[in-house]
């Protein structure tokens, strides 16, 4: 098991690569990055809450939310639990922003379905 310093260093190192993978447009890469991020959010929940600047949560929020609208059903399905795990590390302001974005996307998708 990693100590707090090792875990922080690992997250700082892999997070930019994972975000780059999410933005790559390659479905297989996005799927793997979403799986890894979901595990990071679950395993290091306390550390990520305690150290609010360990990852750029606003960038991650936008990137993961964008993947909810991916053409790939698998990417969509993997983005959902990733967002759920991600929500647990957000402060109140960030969580409110995430909920507003999700609600906006839901309304937009309902309008497109009609």
For 22, counting Cβ atoms within 10 Å of its Cβ (0-12 exposed, 13-18 middle, 19+ buried), the class is: buried
Can you give the pLDDT at residue 113? 59
Model-wide pTM > 0.85: yes
Confidence of residue 102 (pLDDT cuts 50, 70, 90): confident
Whether the CB-CB separation of 48 and 55 falls below 8 Å is answered with: yes
Measured CA to CA, the distance from residue 58 to residue 65 in angstroms comes to: 11
Helix (H) or strand (E) holding 109: helix 92-113
Alpha-carbon distance 70 to 67, whole Å?
5
* pLDDT tens, residue by residue, 49-101: 999 889 999 999 999 999 988 889 999 999 999 999 999 999 899 999 999 98
The greatest distance separating any two alpha carbons of the chain, rounded to the nearest whole angstrom, comes to 51
pLDDT, tens digit, 9 for 90 and up, residues 5-46: 999 999 999 999 999 999 999 999 999 999 999 999 999 999
């Amino acid at each position: 098991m990693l100590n707090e310093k090792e875990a922080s260093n690992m997250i700082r190192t892999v997070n930019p690569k994972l975000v780059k993978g999410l933005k790559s447009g390659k479905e297989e890469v996005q799927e793997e990055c979403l799986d890894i991020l979901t595990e990071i959010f679950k395993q290091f929940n306390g550390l990520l809450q305690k150290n609010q600047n360990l990852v750029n949560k606003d960038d991650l929020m936008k990137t993961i939310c964008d993947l909810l609208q991916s053409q790939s059903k698998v990417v969509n399905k993997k983005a959902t639990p990733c967002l759920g795990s991600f929500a647990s590390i957000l402060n109140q302001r960030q969580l409110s922003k995430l909920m507003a974005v999700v609600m906006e996307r839901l309304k937009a998708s309902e309008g497109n379905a009609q």
